[in-house]
Amino acid sequence: MKATLVRPARAADLPMLAAWLPQAPQLPGTADETLLVAEVAGDDGEPALPLGSLRLRRAVGLGPPRVWYHVGCTVHAASELNLFHCQRTLMLGHDHTGASELADIVWAQGDLPLAEQAATLHLLVQTALLLMARDRGHYADRLIAELPGPRDSAGDSPFWQGLGRHFYGGDRHSAAAAHGAGWRTHVAALLPRQPIYTSFLSEPAQAAIAQTQPEALLLREVLEQAGLRYGHHVNIEDAGPVLEAPTDDLPTVRRSRRWQVTHSPQQAPHHAPKAGATAYVALVDVPDGRWQAARVRGHVHGSALALSAEDLNGLGVEAGAPVWAAALGGDGS
């Protein structure tokens, strides 16, 4: 398997990304967003092949407000009636305003083995976390990532059918196409402001709450491995879960630091890394203010991170150069 690199997106990536995303992507206009692209080198001078992309946002909801439902509970109890009911509630709010976000995560699926798809997603997510750690001051104390909710056989969201549709009669898909991601902000103005008892919703709508679309389960697994968790928020359109974590609790952020790289003492091409070598995700600055990141294996050598010549080459750095890197946990986190 050839080495996969993650780097900032270029204009040339956009046509490929457009095929994966619901809305035609744009390169970030400001430093508030970074569009990451994972690619694998092509054969013999062929252009590299994009494998996936992820948009890292520094802070969400500070322009047009972002909305989510908080999934809560209210208890109705009466001992003299032997009654105890825990009612699930949905409360519209802007709870994650200001959080950083991993968004628009798309990846090549086709007939790629799941393990390869997972590796791509993993590298995209870990690279985003390294960027956050490197520029920690630019990112929020909380990180979120939205996952899509289930669809029924007709392609509709059962949650939307049970709730949103009663408050917005128009076509959700054309509204989303016309307004882009901001459409949820607009439709939120039409949704109930007060808590909704989910028992007033249809059974399929209730069942959809916080469920992940099957196609996105792999992504959920990768995000959970990285340390994000469902925290009782869902998106207002299809009730897909919002995963979240305190930024500084994420293992990759916690473990990351600046290193100098050095040659591994036992360097030899294709030489299996010696016992004790650990998987790292490493990010280096390259000319023109750009950067690139890759997964490497290395071990701590004094105050330096020792890498094989192949990994140094893959990262495009010379010994002695600074890198940002974080050891990946035994479980790959």
User: 187 or 325: whose CB is closer to other proteins?
Assistant: 187
We find the least distance from the C-beta atom of residue 150 to other proteins, in angstroms, to be 20
User: 41 or 91: whose CB is closer to other proteins?
Assistant: 91
Strands 83-93 and 196-197: antiparallel
The C-alpha angle 79, 81, 87, rounded to 5 degrees, equals 80
User: 161 or 235: whose CB is closer to other proteins?
Assistant: 161
Which amino acid, one-letter code, is at 296?
A: V
Give the per-residue contact string, 151-170, with other proteins (x = CB under 8 A; - = no). ------------x--xxxxx
Is residue 222 a contact partner of residue 118, using CB atoms and an 8 Å limit? yes
# residues contacting other proteins (CB under 8 A): 34
b/e string for 111-144 if b means 16 or more Cβ within 10 A? eeeeebbbbbbbbbbbbbbbbbbbeeeebbebbb
- Three-state secondary-structure class, residue 139: coil
Interface residues for other proteins in 11-70 (CB under 8 A)? none
Quick check: 260 binds other proteins (CB under 8 A)?
A: no
Q: Give the pair of three-digit tokens for residue 161.
A: 């059918």
Give the per-residue contact string, 191-230, with other proteins (x = CB under 8 A; - = no). xxxxxxx-xxx-----------------------------
Among 12, 18, 114, 190, binds other proteins (CB under 8 A): 190
Among 151, 186, 254, 301, binds other proteins (CB under 8 A): 186
Quick check: 88 binds other proteins (CB under 8 A)?
A: no
- Counting Cα atoms < 13 Å in the Cβ hemisphere of 39 gives 19
CA pair distance 262, 282, nearest whole angstrom: 13
| Chain residues that interact with other proteins, rule: CB under 8 A | 74, 76-78, 80-81, 83, 85, 87, 89, 163, 166-170, 175, 179, 182-183, 186-187, 189-197, 199-201
